């Protein structure tokens, strides 16, 4: 009986491993490593490139063709993805023969570590995005990659935005709501405004919001504040959980009964 029970546990473990691979626990490269020439289904492409806009930029290179990992890897030269509303670059390592990426004016907040696996990468334009952490950017530069990271929110760097609010102090009535999207903007007053598109924040951006007293103010739908009870409350809004000074703005809100 012990032997049968032991065999059952092993069989169950094997089944769990197989199932896990198809549920995204294993990386896409592990799942598809043995099928380089297999035509990829729509679901497989979604698993490889979760961001629909990034995926569309890639797949439109193969109109009326079956797409395989080998075909994706065969793309070379420059990949131009300006103004595509891209947020997530997961899967970029499959584009192993692209030597130049242009991601100017998108909604990218962070770079995946897999980008460091691109041995043929010579240049990447990340200007006018929402990146706050320069760790991977600095590694790319050390590896000899020409990186343009202007017009982001990096703590230390030249030509960077600051997250700002139109008002530093506001008064609300009890029960009143306030949409932060209407207050926040990209401040570039510290340097010459060259090839700037807009100071508006993308509606796709999720904020990190710290409310001093939740009894006075509550948060609805990520970017809407509701006045709950009289008092004074400090609200910090940031683009990431590090609350860097450049990517964070503070608003003092006074709530009154009437």
Prediction pTM value? 0.82
**pLDDT at residue 53 greater than cutoff 90:** yes
Residue range 213-225: average pLDDT?
Answer: 91
Using DSSP's 3-state secondary structure scheme, residue 87 falls into: coil
pLDDT confidence of residue 35 = 76
The DSSP annotation for 135-156 comes to HHHHHHHHTT-EEE--SS--SS
More confident residue, 198 or 253: 253
As a whole number of angstroms, the distance between CA 161 and CA 90 comes to 24
pLDDT above 90 coverage of the chain, percent = 68
Residue range 212-235: average pLDDT?
Answer: 93
pLDDT confidence of residue 39 = 85
CA-based max dimension of the chain? 78
As a whole number of angstroms, the distance between CA 164 and CA 191 comes to 15
pLDDT confidence of residue 195 = 63
Using pLDDT thresholds of 50, 70 and 90, give the confidence band for residue 20: very low
């Amino acid at each position: 009986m012990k032997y049968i029970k032991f065999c059952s546990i092993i069989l169950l473990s094997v089944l769990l491993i197989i199932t896990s691979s198809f549920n995204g626990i294993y990386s896409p490269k592990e799942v598809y490593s043995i099928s380089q020439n297999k035509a990829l289904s729509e679901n497989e492409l979604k698993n490889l490139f979760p961001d629909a806009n990034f995926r569309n930029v890639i797949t439109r290179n193969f109109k009326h063709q079956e797409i395989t990992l080998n075909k994706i890897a065969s793309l070379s030269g420059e990949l131009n993805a300006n103004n595509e509303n891209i947020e997530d670059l997961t899967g970029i390592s499959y584009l192993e023969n692209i030597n130049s990426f242009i991601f100017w004016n998108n909604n990218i907040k962070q770079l995946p570590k897999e980008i460091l696996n691109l041995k043929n990468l010579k240049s990447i334009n990340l200007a006018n995005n929402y990146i706050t952490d320069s760790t991977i950017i600095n590694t790319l530069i050390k590896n000899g990659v020409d990186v343009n990271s202007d017009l982001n929110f990096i703590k230390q760097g030249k030509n960077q935005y600051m997250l700002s609010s139109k008002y530093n102090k506001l008064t609300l009535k009890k029960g009143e709501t306030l949409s932060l999207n209407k207050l926040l903007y990209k401040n570039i007053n510290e340097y010459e405004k060259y090839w700037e598109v807009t100071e508006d924040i993308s509606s796709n951006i999720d904020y990190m919001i710290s409310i001093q007293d939740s009894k006075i103010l509550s948060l609805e739908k990520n970017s809407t504040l509701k006045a709950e009870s009289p008092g004074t409350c400090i609200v910090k809004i940031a683009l990431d959980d590090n609350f860097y000074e450049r990517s964070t703005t503070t608003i003092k809100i006074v709530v009154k009964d009437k």
